[in-house]
Amino acid sequence: MLRKEWPLIFNTILAQLAAGIFIFLSADIMFVLHGLLEPAANLNLNGTGLALAGPIIILAMFLSLFHLGKPFRAYRAMANLPVSWLSWEIFLSGAFLILWAVTYFINKPYPYLLGITSLVALLNVVSMGNIYSSTGRPGWKGAVTYLDFIGSMVMFGSVASAFIIGGADEFKFLINAPMIACQLILAIELIAILAFVFKQKAAADESSLDQLACSSDLNEDLLSKYLKISISGWFLSFMGVEIVYLNIHGYITLSLLLPVIFVFAGELIKRYSFFMLVGESEDSSQYISAISYSKNSNK
Amino acid sequence: MGKKRLVMVIDLKRCIGCHTCAVACKSHNNLPNEIWWNQVLTHGGKSMDTPRGVYPNLHMQFLPLACQHCDNPACVKACPTGATYKDDNGIVMMDYDMCVGCCSCILACPYKYARQFNEKEPAYEVDFRVGNAGVPDQQKGTVSKCTFCYTRVAKGEAPSCIDVCPGKARYFGDLADNESEVSQLIQKRKYIQLLTERGTKPSVYFLI
């Protein structure tokens, strides 16, 4: 695993947390605005928890600087918008922050503003998915990365809005549907993790030139570690989602802060396992290890 | 005259795994201690020169590997600053002054060790500059990679790894020219390119 990936683990998780909070709370506010629950003419928007999204995305953007070799050149990272998804991700993070600031200072629930900001937040998460998915690395390609990233966003948004809205009966329908979506996402994720490990272990037995040249050095030890860590993370997220689900159906009575902690920890651990799939090859060179060996033996 | 398409051809049957190409590359490009753009890999594991299999049934296969200078390079599309780009001769280049060190090119590249990150201030075993004077200095916090020795190519010479190979396993030339040595070899001999299913269209051909 690249040592430089830690800031990215937190950057992606926090950006998805901010997007989830904003999108889900905005959706809840829309329901309120449309008179489904109560009139909202005097709604204090920042009092709903929407204000949290801004500091979180600022923290996410700040942490991302630490994975750059040249942080003071970071302003150049939007220079390749025509082809680079990373440029788009940085652009959309900035746009989300600006739009959030506008909603924060206006502090009034304008549906168009909430809708556009939510869309930008979602596109930011999608462009993050595109960065990793387009690398073609095993475990990152295809729908798996989007499932991981958008799944985290949905789970964060669902449990955060459940915590903020609370377990009152009249809000139950706003929490129940997202929880069913979270359970579906978790079921698909579990199948995807197991299928990936099984497929890669079968491929590890081959010894072609392609395999020797491939930068994704996923050996059996790494795959076993990946399986253990990702299942641990998955289990924590599952616990968090189930606590909310059982709570709103009256089977248990636990603080809804607990699922927020469980899901955050679970998704963080899963993201760590996602970045484990960078492989170990980037970290070391056979020449460096050979030179260190020869220097140590000469001492 | 049409556009050039510079390619490298490596005859795996002639490669004896001497690592001369790796050392020549390192000295010509004045690479810091931990950076090796060109490496000769073997199947047995992470250590150098390790065979595949269980004694006494061992098999040694050398694979000299560096940037594949792809026709459809994933790194160029991943770079957010445009620091990595393709020049008119088809060489995938790096501009160290533009690089922010995000390593997205390393993540996007499917080839092992093709790109390397200068994590520390470049340090050298010797206290004087070696190699070609026209090669730009390495910078801490940036990514670097094989450039097909573009300063030599500009003078009509072949990359340094080609000239030093004692087994005459390496060839370099213009694939757009049907009469060139590389074109003739590719027409006559059986060859492979690495990880073609990734759609990168590499410019390095391995004769098998």
What structural domains does chain B harbor?
6-207 (3.30.70.20)
List pLDDT tens digits, range A164-191: 877 566 677 778 888 999 999 999 999 9
Give the separation between CA A194 and CA A197, rounded to whole angstroms.
5
* Residues on chain B touching A132 (C-beta within 8 angstroms): 107
How many other β-carbons are positioned within 10 Å of the β-carbon of residue A299?
4
Q: Which residues pair with B7 in a beta bridge?
A: B173
CB within 8 A of B9, min separation 6: which ones? B170, B171, B172, B173, B182, B185, B186, B191, B204, B205, B206, B207
Asked if A77 lies within 8 A of B111 by C-beta distance, the reply is no
CA distance B47 to chain A (A): 5
Asked if residue A259 has a cis previous peptide bond (ω within 30° of 0), the answer is no
Residue A294 backbone dihedrals phi, psi, to 5 degrees:
-70, -35
B71 has a pLDDT exceeding 90: yes
- The CA-atom distances, in angstroms, between A176 and each of A56, A159, A182, A249, A272 are 26, 11, 10, 9, 29
Q: Which residue has the tokens 């709570």?
A: A247
More confident residue, A220 or A263: A263
Q: And the tokens for B89?
A: 């001769």
pLDDT > 60? residue B1? no
Residues B54-68, mean pLDDT to the nearest whole number:
90
Residue B112: the pLDDT is 85
| pLDDT for A96 | 97
Interface contacts (A, B; CB < 8 Å): 149
Model confidence band, residue A243 (pLDDT cutoffs 50, 70, 90): very high
Widest CA span in chain A: 80
Judging contacts by C-beta atoms under 8 Å, the chain A residues touching residue B74 are 134-136
For residue B10, pLDDT over 90 is answered with: yes
Give the least confident one: A30-39, A76-85, B78-87, B185-194.
Answer: A30-39
Q: Which residue has the tokens 């030599």?
A: B152
Lowest-confidence range among A148-152, A215-219, A227-231, A262-266?
A215-219
Q: Does A282 touch chain B (CB under 8 A)?
A: yes
Query: For residues A85 and A134, is the Cβ–Cβ distance under 8 A?
Result: yes
Best residue in B40, B102, B146, B194 for a mutation probing chain A (most A CBs within 10 Å): B102
Residue A13 has pLDDT above 80, yes or no: yes
Q: What is the pLDDT of residue A182?
A: 95
Q: How confident is the model at residue A218 (pLDDT cuts 50, 70, 90)?
A: confident
pLDDT at A280: 60
Determine the length of chain A: 299
Are B145 and B112 contacting, i.e. CB atoms less than 8 angstroms apart?
no
Q: Closest by alpha carbon to A277, among A151, A149, A141, A139?
A: A139
Tell me, letter by letter, the H, E, C secondary structure of chain A: CCHHHHHHHHHHHHHHHHHHHHHHHHHHHHHHHCCCCCCCCCCCHHHHCHHHHHHHHHHHHHHHHHHCCCHHHHHHHHCCCCCCHHHHHHHHHHHHHHHHHHHHHHCCCCHHHHHHHHHHHHHHHHHHHHHHHCCCCCCCCCHHHHHHHHHHHHHHHHHHHHHHHCCCHHHHHHHHHHHHHHHHHHHHHHHHHHHHHHHHHHHCCCCCHHHHHECCCCCHHHHHHHHHHHHHHHHHHHHHHHHHHHHHCCCCCCCCHHHHHHHHHHHHHHHHHHHHCCCCCCCCCHHHHHHHHHHHHHC
For residue A79, which residues of chain B lie inside 8 Å, CB to CB? 80-82
pTM (two decimals):
0.89
* CA–CA gap between residue B69 and residue B84 (Å, rounded): 11
The answer to whether the CB atoms of A79 and B82 lie below 8 A apart is yes
Task: Over range B35-40, report the average pLDDT.
Answer: 92
Question: How sure is the predictor about B34, in pLDDT bands with cuts at 50, 70 and 90?
Answer: confident
pLDDT at B96: 94
Report residue A279's pLDDT band, with 50, 70 and 90 as the boundaries: low
Mean pLDDT of B74-103: 93
Instruction: Compute the distance between CA of residue A89 and CA of residue A129 in angstroms, rounded to an integer.
Output: 9
B103 vs A67: CB contact, 8 Å cut-off? yes
Grade residue A206 by pLDDT with cuts at 50, 70 and 90. Answer: low
Mean pLDDT of A34-38: 65
Q: Which of B102, B109, B141 comes nearest A215 by C-beta? A: B109
What is the pLDDT confidence band of residue A253, given thresholds at 50, 70 and 90?
confident
Residue A65 is predicted with a pLDDT of: 93
Residue B61 pLDDT grade (very low, low, confident, very high; cuts 50, 70, 90): confident
For chain B positions 1-40, those within 8 Å of chain A (CB to CB) are: 22, 33-34, 36, 39
The B residues from 121 to 140 touching A (CB cutoff 8 Å) are 139-140
**pLDDT over 70 (residue A268):** yes
The minimal CB distance from B36 to the residues A67, A68, A285 is found for A285
Q: What is the pLDDT of residues A116-136, one digit of tens each?
A: 999 999 999 999 999 999 887
Kindly report, residue by residue over B119-148, the tens digit of the pLDDT. 889 988 888 888 888 889 999 999 999 999
Report pLDDT for A235: 97
- The tally of CA atoms less than 13 A away on the side-chain side of residue A144 is 23
Nearest to A45 by CA among A97, A91, A4, A105: A105
Write down the pLDDT at residue A190.
Answer: 95
A219 close contact with B: CB closer than 8 A: no
pLDDT for res A173: 76
- CA A148, CA A13: separation in Å to the nearest integer? 10
Mean pLDDT of A12-30: 93
Task: Write the burial class of residue B203 (CB in 10 Å: 0-12 exposed, 13-18 middle, 19+ buried).
Answer: buried
Which of A53-67, A112-126, A240-254 has the least mean pLDDT?
A240-254
Interface of A with B in 135-174 (CB under 8 A): 135-137
| B82 within 8 A of A79, measured Cβ to Cβ | yes
The 3-class secondary structure across chain B, one letter per residue, is: CCCCCEEEEEECCCCCCCCHHHHHHHHHCCCCCCCCCCEEECCCCCCCCCCEEECCEEECCCEEECCCCCCCCHHHHHCCCCCEEECCCCCEEECCCCCCCCCHHHHHCCECCCEEECCCCCCCCCCCCCCCCCCCCCCCCCEEECCCCHHHHHCCCCCHHHHHCCCCCEEEEECCCCCCHHHHHHHHCCEECCCHHHCCCCCEEEEC
